[in-house]
Amino acid sequence: MMRTFARSSAARSRHRRRGALPAASSSTRRVSRRHPPRAGSSTTQPRRSPGPGRRFAVRSTAMRTRLVLATTAMIGSALLAAPTAPATPATPGVVTARGAVEDGPAVIGKRVIGRSVRGRPIVAWHLGETGKPKVLLISTMHGDEPHTRQILTSLRDGRPIHGINLWVLPTYNPDGLVRGTRKNARGVDLNRNFPYNWTDLDGPYESGPRPSSEPETRAVMRFLRSIRPKWILSFHQPLYGVDTATKNRAFSRRVARALNLPRKSFTCGGVCHGTMTGWYNYRLRGGTALTVEYGARPSRRRMQVTAPRQVLSIWDASRHR
């Protein structure tokens, strides 16, 4: 038996050498999973067509994609159709993005009385009650005297006022306020530009080329002729006192007492040329204009809390509680 096995093995070997039993070709040899063919090899496996399970998976993925898109569209439509929340009411006195000031409950009217050299609006606010004594408060005639504006803006932005027909003009010289200078954008002292005792002044009290040459002066003159207030307080800094050089000395004493300020005579070293108070007192008869000066650096509390209350007390007026 061993001899037969050896003979058959030798016969197979001879047949292989002669080509009777061809060796396995490289094109038909099975590719090992552990040793994939190198790049460029001609040995490839035939591509199988997807079976029913694979086709079902592809269809399921497409259906999920369409479902996600449809759901997203429905959510977007719902968000667009949802009502928007009401806007938060603006805070009185806050400057908006457009530069306007939101009016508080004390305001019953507003008027742009003119524009500055640079085109900035000069705005007056109407407060209080019509039919009551008419009062006008003016501030920032000089741009480097800004603190007293807080008295007027506090009245404007606070609670409603009763017992007085009040107008407030917080910023008479807006260009000077922006620049931080006494004069307007053309270098004119507006409190030397009125057509009463006007003279040609130079230097720190430059009075302009002629009386009422400046647009700010003309705007205030028109406004005063229009409303004809019985009393005017013109706030300044830093001389700290209430002017006694006025035609109504009793009113000067009352104001000084109410504001807790000393009484002083502001004579400008002789004659005050071209002032607003002089023009109103002696050219537009029937009312009294008075200069009130605070110090160089009054406290914020005094300007925003104490002084507004004191100003109203001059005419026995008050704010609604």
Pairing of strands 165-169, 121-128: antiparallel
Q: What is the CATH number of the domain that holds 229?
A: 3.40.630.10
Q: What is the mean pLDDT of residues 204-219?
A: 97
pLDDT digits (tens, 9 = 90+) for 274-304: 999 999 998 887 799 999 999 999 999 999 9
Q: Is residue 199 part of a domain?
A: yes
Q: Is residue 165 part of a domain?
A: yes
Rounded Cα distance between 63 and 224, Å, is 78
Rounded Cα distance between 231 and 284, Å, is 12
Q: What is the mean pLDDT of residues 40-44?
A: 46
> What does the mean pLDDT of the chain come to?
81
Q: Is residue 79 part of a domain?
A: no
Segments forming the whole domain that contains residue 292: 107-315
Percent of the chain with pLDDT over 70: 69
Residue 63: its pLDDT value, please? 67
Q: Is residue 58 part of a domain?
A: no
Residue 187: its pLDDT value, please? 97
List of E strands, the chain: 107-115, 121-128, 134-138, 161-162, 165-169, 231-236, 241-243, 263-264, 288-293, 318-319
Q: Is residue 309 part of a domain?
A: yes
Q: How many domains does the chain have?
A: 1
Per-residue CA distances from 313 to 55, 155, 170, 306 (Å): 91, 13, 19, 11
More confident site: 166 or 63: 166
Residue 26: its pLDDT value, please? 44
Q: Is residue 30 part of a domain?
A: no
Q: What is the mean pLDDT of residues 235-249?
A: 93
Q: Is residue 167 part of a domain?
A: yes
Rounded Cα distance between 301 and 186, Å, is 34
Residue 23: its pLDDT value, please? 46
Residue 94: its pLDDT value, please? 44
Q: What is the mean pLDDT of residues 181-195?
A: 97
Residue 76: its pLDDT value, please? 53
> Taking 70 as the threshold, does the pLDDT of residue 132 lie above it?
yes
Residue 27: its pLDDT value, please? 42
Q: Is residue 39 part of a domain?
A: no
Residue for token digits 């959510």?
75
Q: Cis ω on the peptide bond leading into residue 238 (within 30° of 0)?
A: yes
Residue 68: its pLDDT value, please? 62
Rounded Cα distance between 131 and 163, Å, is 9
Residue for token digits 């914020």?
300
pLDDT digits (tens, 9 = 90+) for 96-118: 434 455 788 999 999 999 999 99
Q: How many other C-beta atoms can be found within 10 angstroms of the C-beta atom of residue 262?
A: 12
The token pair at 8 is: 């058959």
- Among positive and negative, which fits the CA dihedral 197, 198, 201, 206? positive
Residue 279: its pLDDT value, please? 95
